[in-house]
Every structure is written in structure tokens, then in C-alpha cells.
Amino acid sequence: MRSRGLTTSILLPAALVLGGLGRAADQSSTELEKEDKGITFYESFRGSSNTLGQVMKLDTKAGYNFNKYFGVYFGIPVYSVRSSANSTTSGSGSMTGLGNAYVDLRLTVANPLLNFASILEGTAPTGDASKGFSTGRATFDWANHLDHSFFFGFTPFVNLGAANTISDTRFFTRPFSSLGLVGHFEGGADYKVLHFFSVGASAYDIVPSGQQKVFSRLISSQPSVPGVTTRRGGGVFEKNRETTGTAAIDRDNGYSAWLDVSPLPFINLELGYSRSVQFDLNTVSFSVGFNLGYLIRKTKVR
């Protein structure tokens, strides 16, 4: 996950890049600019790859900024999942489908001493739970972000929130969806090397509470494949299409690192690495984002 000063832009990386804040915090510098009222429209394509396979997501988001403090956004993702031929999952293969439609309510407050942003996200169960693209229930994620920019482009940040699902992040499109109360925390720093280039790192912790349900995006409804063995340290999403259990089945912690490049004001490119200690997973991710709302507003100004 990463963050920059809100005096010029706001980053709510959910990352959670492997998990901290969720999509509610899953924003890039060009996606949530500090700007006055107007239409917002953002298109992004994200992907995560590890030994289990690849999970891709095309996310379309549109909304409106009422002023520099408040905004509302609507969106719906489309997933494409391909399990690795060498993975330990049963019923491995390829799946494509819609995810959950969502709405985000955003509050942004920029301050010379401390920048703050809060996003409350709600989703509707429009995705297919049998493919792991939904939990079959409405979900929420309340994510909060604090940062302060020092000289030389160094910006430490903290993200924390509560949800009833573990959301995708900017650098980790998850191989599962979940249902159950969780708290998510992340701390790290972003360093702006050049005007258009930054690097960052963070550590995260996801703390579930009570009964949890995990829906795999790697396992289809097909029967188990004979001869498949389970790797050590893996998650329940590698073994079962749906699992109900204690908080232990989806607790996670780890760390992330990333590179971010914005060659143009409306284009954002990211490359990230995440290490899940709990699931023993090393994930490489990428993201390509287009801030089409920026182009719309510039066209209107002309």
C-alpha cells in the first residue's frame, strides 16, 4: 500500500496490498485527486499472480464530487481467474464473472499537520458465490487513512478500519472472498523519488472475529482432482470451494512493497509485491489505471 500527501492527492491503498484496507481504501493518486465538485470516472485493470494462479479484475467506477470534502462513487468489477496447472487446488480451471456492485461514500480533510480520509463502502451480492466472486450477502467496509508529508517526499501513513468481509486490495486481487467481522490495520511509508515516480512499503494485519466463511475463487464446483496434494501453510481456499470456521481460517498478516509511475495526469501504473505470512504466499501484482474523469473535466474547461 502507499500514500501521498493529501495536499496534492490522496491515497487510500488498500492494500492492504495484501490486505489492509480493502477496496474502500483502494485508490490511487490519480483516482482520488483533491479536487472541486464534478464528475469522476475511473477505469482500472489489476492482476495478481502467485503459485496458485492468476486473478484479474477490471473495475469501472463513476461518481460525483460534491466539493473537495465529500464524494460518492458507484462501480462494479469483472473477474477472470485462472488456476495454475501446478497448483494444489482441486477442480482447477478458469472462471470469469461479475463481482459485487458497490457504492463508496468519501470524506477527505487535508491539513498541514495531518491528512485524513474516510471511506464507507457497501456492496450488493451481484456476484456468483459459487465462483467466489461474492459471499451471497451484502457487505460493508469502513476504511480510514492518516498521513503526514515531510520534506524530501517522505510520507508515513496509517490505515485502519472494520468490515464484514476481507476486500481486494490495490496490489492483491484475492483468490477468495469472505464473510465475517474483521478489523484491518496497516502502517508504512511512501517516498516520492520524482514528480511522477514513487516507491513505498508497508506491513499489514487482518484480525477476524467470530465465525468466518471463505469462498474460493480458485476451485470450481467440479469434484476434487485425484492425486492433488495440499501445500504446507496454505489457506482453506486452496482445499474447499466454501469453508465455515473460526477466525483462524482467514486471519492474515504480512508486508508489501511497490513502485508507482504516473507518466501523465490521467494514467497511473503500479507494480507491487506482497508477502502473506499466514498463507505462505508471494504475490506479484500490477495495475493500469485511467482517470477518464480528469479528461472529461479538462474538456469542459476548454
- What is the DSSP code string of 74-120? EEEEEEEEEE-TTSS-TT--EEEEE--EEEEEEEEE--SS-EEEEEE
Tens-place pLDDT, residues 84-118: 755 555 455 688 999 999 999 999 998 888 999 99
Domain span holding position 106:
16-301
Of the candidates 64, 138, 156, the residue with the CA atom closest to the CA atom of residue 100: 138
Q: Which residues contact 190 (CB under 8 A, 6 or more apart)?
A: 2, 3, 4, 11, 154, 155, 157, 198, 199, 200
pLDDT for residue 64 is more than 60: yes
252 is a domain residue: yes
Rounded Cα distance, 52 and 280, in Å: 11
Q: Which cell numbers hold the place of 292?
A: 477518464
Partners of 107 in the beta sheet? 70, 118
* pTM for this predicted structure: 0.81
What separation, in Å, do the N-terminal and C-terminal C-alpha atoms of the chain show?
35
pLDDT for residue 5 is more than 60: no
Strand pairing report for 197-208 and 154-163: unpaired
Give the number of domains in the chain: 1
76 is a domain residue: yes
pLDDT band at 132 (very low <50, low <70, confident <90, very high): confident
Rounded Cα distance, 141 and 164, in Å: 7
| Per-residue pLDDT at 17 | 30
Percent over 90 (pLDDT), the chain: 60
Of the candidates 111, 150, 97, the residue with the CA atom closest to the CA atom of residue 10: 111
293 is a domain residue: yes
| Per-residue pLDDT at 69 | 93
Q: Which cell numbers hold the place of 269?
A: 501504473
Q: Which amino acid is at 195?
A: H
11 is a domain residue: no
In the block, which residue shows the cell 487513512?
Answer: 145
8 is a domain residue: no
Chain centroid to CA 143: how far?
11
4 is a domain residue: no
What's the CATH code of the domain at 266? 2.40.160.40
193 is a domain residue: yes
| Per-residue pLDDT at 229 | 42
Task: Please compute the mean of the pLDDT values over residues 149-170 and round it to a whole number.
Answer: 91
116 is a domain residue: yes
SS3 132: coil
CA distances 59 to 20, 53, 191, 199, Å, are 19, 20, 27, 24
Task: Please compute the mean of the pLDDT values over residues 41-70 and round it to a whole number.
Answer: 93
